């Protein structure tokens, strides 16, 4: 009757009818086309969770309640918002909730204390109140008192999102009795058909009480009924695609959370139970992680995918459910399909272990590996170009890539030869890198301190469309003794695969093939950026959008790179016309997709309507460069090209902006306002203005009378680069070998203690600099 009353209320509610623009039938029809997955086998990968149509969300005791404070209203509100959002997408959402005992306990305690207070006031007077105690509260009575209030709370919260709810109370008999089971199934299907969110709980008012614990004896925590088995049974019974079990831990650990070396398990497979050491049960419920795992495996066997995650963490509660459904790496995902290769976490551990062995090699041995890779690039060029041709054909036919990205994807014999030359150059120049002494100090007699260069650790390089990036960064990682994790775009998968094989073949000559790993699993970039305990530095190579996304996602890992390449060339009124034309053509047209290509041409006002200006415009038109007029340039023209939408645009194609400035200082101010601190150029015959420009422009690369395209590690003589950084700390500009090294301090003594240098001690600090011989190594 309660359910029918709520359904009737829902159908009568004019506010809900007004606020909802989609009828239940049309939402269900839309869902059939958007999530067309027949139930049967569980989803094999996290990325497939986006297909989940019917979802059960189980709210554990610790999620719903707060110690001694009843329900956690803030958490519940954010969970309701996420469930309502998914429901309004056309999915079918169900909630299995705890909380009735907690809610009822809070109400009964309040009533008992109020009653005791009134009685004492009547018998003893207001000023002689005795200390009041709460008697033991029986769980079933608490549940009876709390069920209506809990449901009213859910109704009020879901109403804010024009979503109707219905309460279902069940016991074990509803699953074991065939007629009751069919009735339950029919009721739930009817509710889902009408776009209603069923909220299910065990009928704790009539079930046998749980085992007594400290809470039911008047302790400081709240005990509520565990619903793990209920959620699993319900998910299988209703053929749900996904069961999300929220508790107060991040997921399943290989040993109790908080213990040494406990690791969160990303994906759990049936048969892995023996590798798990379970801890104590939930602090507020009667279940524990072992019960959750058993329920999850039972649901998985029944065809429902399962994720166990944290629903109490304040930083993630507001999006934990939607993140899971979007396929993000949250909590522990239960899967029946075990991948053939290692997980990305295992790859990272393998790379770190082999990377330490790589760092311990002699510089000559690391140089041999790099030279071997260079030789393989030329020896295996036919295989490389064949794989690249397949990638190019797929990219062209798919139509998903822009022309600049297709240009970056392309490899040629000349590119491979240039790569090989750069790698051999790096092999020679890198021999005094790792272990080089930067500073040596005599702290005191027989106490010497050294600062030496060491590898950073594990690098994650994420790149798109540019397979030539792989051998470059591989060689730099080898030279610097760093382990390397590579994540390339799928558009270059064939080329990346063979280049990685060649890198591992070169590494194998000294037994460190695992130091460089290519991530080929379905890991999302955002998920990789969360591996802050495994990765030491992220280097993105790709579009400005990719770099910005990585910078946002990598909360705990430093990111080395630049988000945009808005490079300027300023033509001064004292410029040579030949130099201006040659530099302008080269900066824009040599490789328009490159991050160091010119995007804005600044022209001194005095050059307007002069032969040099006309020749510059003719040059750009001859090269088929589309011109966008800056606002000041447009004001000088009667018929101007299309006015630029933004002066902060990176075109990455045969397009550029032209803007007029009044002086060299005006050009500097424009660059500081609209540039990206990448590469900026002045073309002038005035040495005084050139030096002022070089000093004042705060960019990673600042050039005088030379093309912006020189901003490159190979052209700088670095041999190779991992990218160009516009950061103002650590490496800046083209980042080569030096940018991939950090330092450590080494102190050598003979039993020295700090007490020796106190006022009563026998020793004094000297702090004398010790000369470092050329090529000095620790």
Q: What span, in angstroms and rounded, lies between the C-alpha atoms of 230 and 202?
A: 8
Longest dimension (CA), the chain: 108
Q: What span, in angstroms and rounded, lies between the C-alpha atoms of 94 and 197?
A: 6
pLDDT value of position 745: 96
Chain center to CA of 138: 47
pLDDT tier at 21, thresholds 50, 70, 90: very low
How many Cβ atoms from other residues are within 10 Å of residue 297's Cβ?
A: 20
Task: Give me 596's structure tokens.
Answer: 């160091």
Tens-digit pLDDT profile for residues 33-42: 555 555 568 8
Are 181 and 231 in contact by the 8 Å Cβ rule? The answer is: no
**pLDDT, greater one: 494 or 400:** 494
pLDDT at 19 over 60: no
Comparing CA positions, the residue from 624, 625, 635 lying closest to residue 601 is 625
Q: What span, in angstroms and rounded, lies between the C-alpha atoms of 260 and 256?
A: 9
pLDDT value of position 282: 52
Beta-strand pair 332-334/305-310: antiparallel
- Between helix 363-379 and helix 413-429 the angle, nearest 10°, is 170
How many Cβ atoms from other residues are within 10 Å of residue 66's Cβ?
A: 17
Q: What span, in angstroms and rounded, lies between the C-alpha atoms of 653 and 622?
A: 15
Q: Where are the alpha helices (DSSP H) in 491-593?
A: 493-507, 525-528, 544-553, 577-589
768-769 β-sheet, strand order = 741-748, 447-455, 437-444, 768-769
Confidence (pTM): 0.75
Q: What span, in angstroms and rounded, lies between the C-alpha atoms of 326 and 308?
A: 15
Looking at the DSSP bridge assignments, the partners of residue 682 are 570, 704
Q: What span, in angstroms and rounded, lies between the C-alpha atoms of 558 and 333?
A: 27
pLDDT at 264 over 60: yes
pLDDT value of position 218: 36
Q: What span, in angstroms and rounded, lies between the C-alpha atoms of 509 and 371?
A: 11
Beta-strand pair 54-59/92-97: parallel
- Between helix 289-301 and helix 228-237 the angle, nearest 10°, is 10
Tens-digit pLDDT profile for residues 722-752: 888 888 877 889 998 989 999 999 999 999 9
pLDDT value of position 1: 37
Task: Give me 703's structure tokens.
Answer: 């050039």
Tens-digit pLDDT profile for residues 329-338: 899 999 998 8
Are 763 and 757 in contact by the 8 Å Cβ rule? The answer is: yes
pLDDT value of position 24: 47
pLDDT value of position 697: 97
Q: Among 132-141, 172-181, 280-289, 441-450, whose mean pLDDT is lowest?
A: 280-289
pLDDT value of position 4: 36
Q: What span, in angstroms and rounded, lies between the C-alpha atoms of 560 and 547?
A: 9
pLDDT value of position 765: 95
pLDDT value of position 118: 63
Q: What is the mean pLDDT of the chain?
A: 85
Tens-digit pLDDT profile for residues 41-58: 888 889 899 999 999 999
Q: What span, in angstroms and rounded, lies between the C-alpha atoms of 253 and 398?
A: 42
Task: Give me 464's structure tokens.
Answer: 């798109």
Q: What average pLDDT does this structure show over 218-225? A: 33
Helix (H, G, I), strand (E, B) or coil at 569: strand
Q: What span, in angstroms and rounded, lies between the C-alpha atoms of 208 and 204?
A: 8
Tens-digit pLDDT profile for residues 604-629: 999 998 988 999 999 999 999 999 99
Tens-digit pLDDT profile for residues 299-346: 999 999 999 999 998 777 789 999 999 998 899 999 998 877 888 888
Tally of CA atoms within 13 A in the half-sphere of 683 that contains its CB = 27
pLDDT value of position 437: 93
Q: What average pLDDT does this structure show over 388-405? A: 88
pLDDT value of position 202: 83
How many Cβ atoms from other residues are within 10 Å of residue 27's Cβ?
A: 18
Comparing CA positions, the residue from 636, 569, 562 lying closest to residue 597 is 569
How many Cβ atoms from other residues are within 10 Å of residue 183's Cβ?
A: 12
pLDDT tier at 117, thresholds 50, 70, 90: low
Looking at the DSSP bridge assignments, the partners of residue 25 are none
pLDDT value of position 135: 65
Tens-digit pLDDT profile for residues 54-109: 999 999 878 888 765 578 888 999 999 999 999 999 999 999 998 888 777 877 87
Q: What average pLDDT does this structure show over 354-380? A: 96
pLDDT value of position 244: 97
pLDDT tier at 208, thresholds 50, 70, 90: low
Name the CA dihedral angle for 585, 587, 593, 599, rounded to a multiple of 10 degrees: -100
Are 218 and 47 in contact by the 8 Å Cβ rule? The answer is: no
Q: What span, in angstroms and rounded, lies between the C-alpha atoms of 474 and 571?
A: 39
Say which residue the tokens 């074991």 belong to: 176
pLDDT value of position 524: 72
Q: What span, in angstroms and rounded, lies between the C-alpha atoms of 359 and 354?
A: 9
Geometric angle at alpha carbon 753, from 750 and 755, rounded to 5°? 145
Q: What span, in angstroms and rounded, lies between the C-alpha atoms of 453 and 663?
A: 44
What are the CA-CA distances from residue 478 to residues 437, 453, 496, 553, 567 (Å)? 20, 15, 17, 27, 31
How many Cβ atoms from other residues are within 10 Å of residue 639's Cβ?
A: 4
Comparing CA positions, the residue from 378, 476, 473, 381 lying closest to residue 427 is 476
Tens-digit pLDDT profile for residues 650-691: 998 999 999 999 999 999 999 999 999 999 999 999 999 999
pLDDT tier at 121, thresholds 50, 70, 90: low
Phi and psi angles of residue 344, each rounded to the nearest 5 degrees, phi first: -65, -30
pLDDT at 287 over 70: no
What are the CA-CA distances from residue 308 to residues 296, 349, 376, 449 (Å)? 8, 24, 46, 50
Are 213 and 206 in contact by the 8 Å Cβ rule? The answer is: no
pLDDT at 442 over 90: yes
pLDDT at 445 over 50: yes
Q: What span, in angstroms and rounded, lies between the C-alpha atoms of 157 and 59?
A: 16
Strands (E), 623-706: 626-629, 655-661, 679-683, 701-704
Q: What average pLDDT does this structure show over 199-214? A: 66
How many Cβ atoms from other residues are within 10 Å of residue 98's Cβ?
A: 29
pLDDT at 366 over 60: yes
pLDDT at 543 over 90: no
Question: In angstroms, what is the C-alpha Rg of the chain?
Answer: 34
Q: What span, in angstroms and rounded, lies between the C-alpha atoms of 459 and 473?
A: 10
Share above pLDDT 90 across residues of the chain, in percent, rounded to a whole number? 54
pLDDT at 500 over 80: yes
Are 87 and 166 in contact by the 8 Å Cβ rule? The answer is: no
Q: What span, in angstroms and rounded, lies between the C-alpha atoms of 361 and 29?
A: 63
Looking at the DSSP bridge assignments, the partners of residue 332 are 308
Task: Give me 215's structure tokens.
Answer: 């809470």
Task: Give me 327's structure tokens.
Answer: 């396929």
Q: Among 402-416, 543-557, 760-774, whose mean pLDDT is lowest?
A: 543-557
pLDDT value of position 101: 80
pLDDT tier at 375, thresholds 50, 70, 90: very high
Helix (H, G, I), strand (E, B) or coil at 314: coil
DSSP string, 262-309: --B-SEE-TT-GGG----PPPSSBS--HHHHHHHHHHHHHTT-EEEEE
Phi and psi angles of residue 182, each rounded to the nearest 5 degrees, phi first: -65, -40
């Amino acid at each position: 009757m309660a359910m029918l009353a709520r359904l009737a209320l829902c159908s009568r509610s004019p506010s809900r009818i007004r606020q909802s623009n989609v009828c239940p039938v049309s939402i269900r029809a839309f869902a059939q086309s958007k999530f067309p997955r027949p139930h049967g086998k569980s989803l094999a990968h996290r990325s497939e969770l986006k297909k989940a149509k019917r979802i059960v969300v189980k709210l554990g005791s610790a999620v719903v309640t707060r110690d001694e404070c009843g329900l956690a209203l803030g958490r519940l509100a954010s969970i309701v918002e996420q469930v309502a959002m998914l429901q309004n997408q056309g999915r079918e959402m169900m909630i299995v909730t705890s909380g009735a005992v907690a809610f009822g306990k809070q109400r009964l305690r309040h009533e008992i204390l109020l009653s005791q207070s009134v009685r004492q006031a009547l018998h003893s007077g207001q000023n002689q109140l005795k200390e009041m105690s709460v008697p033991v509260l029986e769980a079933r009575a608490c549940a009876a008192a709390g069920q209506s209030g809990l449901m009213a709370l859910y109704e009020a919260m879901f109403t804010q999102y024009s979503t109707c709810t219905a309460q279902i109370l069940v016991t074990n008999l509803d699953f074991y009795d065939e007629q009751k089971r069919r009735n339950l199934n029919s009721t739930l299907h009817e509710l889902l058909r009408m776009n209603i969110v069923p909220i299910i709980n065990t009928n704790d008012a009539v079930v046998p009480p749980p085992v007594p614990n400290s809470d039911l004896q008047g302790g400081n925590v709240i005990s509520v009924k565990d619903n793990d088995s209920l959620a699993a049974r319900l998910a299988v019974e209703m053929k749900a695609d996904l069961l999300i079990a929220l508790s107060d831990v991040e997921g399943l650990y290989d040993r109790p959370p908080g213990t040494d070396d406990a690791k969160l398990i990303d994906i759990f497979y049936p048969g892995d139970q023996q590798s798990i050491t379970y801890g104590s049960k939930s602090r507020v419920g009667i279940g524990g992680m072992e019960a959750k795992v058993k329920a999850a495996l039972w649901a998985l066997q029944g065809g429902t995918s399962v994720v166990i995650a944290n629903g109490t963490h304040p930083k993630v509660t507001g999006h934990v459910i939607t993140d899971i459904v979007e396929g993000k790496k949250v909590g522990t995902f239960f899967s029946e399909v075990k991948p053939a290769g290692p997980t990305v976490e295992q790859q990272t551990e393998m790379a770190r272990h082999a990377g330490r062995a790589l760092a311990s090699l002699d510089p000559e041995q690391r140089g041999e590996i790099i030279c071997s890779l260079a030789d393989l690039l030329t020896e295996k060029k036919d295989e490389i170009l064949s794989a690249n041709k397949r990638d190019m054909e797929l990219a062209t036919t798919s139509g998903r890539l822009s022309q600049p990205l297709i240009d970056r994807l392309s490899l040629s014999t000349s590119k491979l030869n240039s790569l090989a030359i750069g790698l051999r150059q790096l092999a020679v120049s890198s021999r005094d890198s790792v272990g080089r002494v930067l500073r040596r100090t005599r702290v005191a007699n027989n106490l010497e301190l050294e600062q030496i260069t060491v590898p950073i650790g594990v690098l994650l390089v994420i790149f798109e469309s540019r397979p030539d990036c792989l051998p470059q960064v591989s060689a730099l990682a080898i030279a610097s003794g760093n382990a390397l994790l590579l994540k390339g775009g799928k558009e270059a998968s064939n080329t990346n695969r063979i280049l990685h094989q060649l890198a591992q073949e070169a590494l194998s000559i000294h037994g460190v093939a695992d130091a460089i790993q290519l991530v080929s699993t379905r890991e999302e970039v955002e998920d990789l950026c969360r591996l802050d305990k495994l990765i030491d530095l992220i280097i993105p190579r790709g579009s400005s959008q990719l770099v910005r996304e990585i910078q946002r996602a990598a909360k705990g890992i430093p990111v080395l790179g630049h988000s945009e390449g808005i490079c300027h060339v300023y033509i001064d009124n004292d410029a040579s016309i030949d130099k201006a034309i040659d530099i302008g053509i080269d900066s824009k047209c040599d490789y328009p997709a490159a991050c160091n290509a010119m995007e804005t041409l600044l022209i001194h006002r005095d050059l307007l309507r002069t032969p040099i200006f006309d020749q510059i415009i003719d040059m750009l038109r001859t090269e088929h460069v589309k011109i966008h007029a800056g606002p000041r340039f447009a004001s000088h023209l009667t018929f101007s090209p299309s006015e630029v939408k933004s002066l902060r645009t990176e075109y990455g194609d045969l397009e550029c902006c032209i803007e007029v400035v009044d002086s060299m200082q005006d050009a500097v101010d424009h660059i500081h306002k609209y540039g990206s601190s990448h590469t900026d150029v002045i073309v002038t015959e005035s040495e005084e203005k050139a030096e002022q420009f070089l000093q004042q422009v705060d960019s990673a690369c600042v050039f005088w009378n030379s093309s912006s395209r020189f901003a490159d590690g190979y052209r700088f003589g670095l041999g190779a680069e991992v990218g160009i950084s516009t950061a103002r700390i650590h490496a800046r500009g083209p980042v080569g070998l030096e940018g991939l090294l950090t330092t450590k301090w080494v102190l050598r003594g003979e039993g020295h203690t700090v007490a020796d240098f106190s006022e009563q001690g026998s020793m004094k600090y000297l702090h004398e600099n010790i000369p470092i011989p050329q090529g000095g190594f620790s």
